[in-house]
Structure 1
Amino acid sequence: MKTFKNNFVKILVFLPVAFSAQQAPTLQEIIDSALVNDGTLTQQNLENKYTKLDDQKLKDVFLPKVEISGKAGYLFTSAHLQSSEINLPALPPIFPGATIPEGQLSNNLNISGISAMAKAEASILLYSGGKVKYLKEANREKNIAENLLMQKTRDEVITEVSKAYDQMALVLESKNVLDESKKRLDINRKTADKALGYGLITPYDHKKIELAQANLDSKLVEYEGKKELLITQIYLLTGIERERIALIQPQLQTISYEVLDQNIENRVELQALDHGIKATDYKIKAEERWWVPKVQAQTSVSYFGLFNNTISTSKELLPNSGKKLDFNPSNLNILPIVQAGVGFKWDVFDGNEGKHQVEKAKIEKEILENKKRDASKKLNLNLANNQTNYNIANAQIKLKEKSREIARQGLEQVEKEFRYGTKTSSALIDAENDVESAELEVQNAIFNQRRSAIELMKSTQNLQIEKL
Structure 2
Amino acid sequence: MHKNTFLICLIMLVFGFTKPIIAQQLDTELKDLIKKGLEKSHFINIYNLDKEQSKVDQKLAKAVFLPKITFGASFTRLDDDITFDDDTQNLLLSTQKLLIKEAIGIPFNDAFPTNIPLTEIPNLQDKNILKSYVDLDWVLFSGLKAYNALKASKHKEASLSYVTTVEKDKIALKIIETYDKLALVYASKKVLETSKKYLNEQEFFVKKAIKNGLAIPISRKKIELAQQQLIAKELEYNHNKSLLIELLHQLTGKSRTHLLMLHPKIQLFSTEKIDSKKRNEIKALEEAEKATLYKAKMENSNFIPKIALKGHYEFIDDDLSLFDPKWYVGIGVKWNAFDGLNSSLKSKKTKLEKKKYSEKIREANEMIALSIINAELTYKSALQNSKIIKKEIDLSLENYTLINKQYKNNLTTLNDVLDALNDLEKANFKLQQSYFKERRAYTNLLHARGVLKY
Structure 1: 4+ residue segments shifted above 6 A:
77-83, 91-94, 109-112, 304-307, 331-336, 411-417, 419-425, 427-433
SS of 2:79's partner is: strand
221, 227, 232: which one pairs with 2:246?
A: 232
Aligned position for 1:376? 365
SS of 1:76's partner is: coil
Structure 1 residues 353 and 335: alpha-carbon distance in aligned structure 2, compared to 1, 3 A threshold: closer
Written as runs of structure 1 = structure 2, the 5 A alignment for 1:373-452 is: 373-407=362-396, 437-452=426-441
Q: 1:42-98 CA deviation, whole Å, 9 max, x = no partner? A: 111111121111011112111111111222243237899899xxx999x9798xxxx
SS of 1:384's partner is: helix
340, 346, 351: which one pairs with 1:351?
A: 340
| CA RMSD between the two structures | 3.8
Structure 1 residue 199, shift from structure 2 partner: 2.2
280, 298, 302: which one pairs with 2:292?
A: 280
Aligned position for 1:42? 45
Is the contact made by 2:68 and 2:136 (CA closer than 8 Å) also made in structure 1? Answer: yes
**Partner Cα distance (1:370, 1:183) in 2:** 62
Q: 1:176-212 CA deviation, whole Å, 9 max, x = no partner? A: 1111222222233333333223322222112222322
Q: 1:228-286 CA deviation, whole Å, 9 max, x = no partner? A: 2211111111111211110111111333445544x4x5111111122222222322333
Q: Which has the higher helix share?
A: 2
- Extract unaligned runs of 5+ from structure 1: 1-23, 95-108, 308-330
Is the contact made by 2:156 and 2:288 (CA closer than 8 Å) also made in structure 1? Answer: yes
**Partner Cα distance (1:278, 1:376) in 2:** 18
Aligned position for 1:365? 354
Aligned position for 1:19? none
**Partner Cα distance (1:398, 1:226) in 2:** 28
Q: 1:409-433 CA deviation, whole Å, 9 max, x = no partner? A: 667778978x9798998x9998787
Structure 1 residues 132 and 55: alpha-carbon distance in aligned structure 2, compared to 1, 3 A threshold: same
Aligned position for 2:137? 123
Aligned position for 1:139? 153
TM-score by structure 2 length? 0.77
Aligned position for 1:251? 265
Q: Which has the higher strand share?
A: 1
171, 181, 189: which one pairs with 1:157?
A: 171
Is the contact made by 2:198 and 2:418 (CA closer than 8 Å) also made in structure 1? Answer: no
Aligned position for 1:216? 230
TM-score by structure 1 length? 0.75
Is the contact made by 1:200 and 1:421 (CA closer than 8 Å) also made in structure 2? Answer: no
Letter in 2 for 1:296: A
1:289 maps onto 2:301 in alignment: yes
Which one scores higher on RCO, CA 8 angstroms, separation ≥ 6? 2
Is the contact made by 2:317 and 2:326 (CA closer than 8 Å) also made in structure 1? Answer: no
- Extract unaligned runs of 5+ from structure 2: 1-26, 96-107, 112-122
**Partner Cα distance (1:405, 1:153) in 2:** 43
1:301 maps onto 2:313 in alignment: yes
**Partner Cα distance (1:337, 1:80) in 2:** 22
Aligned position for 1:269? 281
Q: 1:1-20 CA deviation, whole Å, 9 max, x = no partner? A: xxxxxxxxxxxxxxxxxxxx
Letter in 2 for 1:121: D
Structure 1 residue 407, shift from structure 2 partner: 4.9
Percentage of identical aligned residues: 28
SS of 1:254's partner is: strand
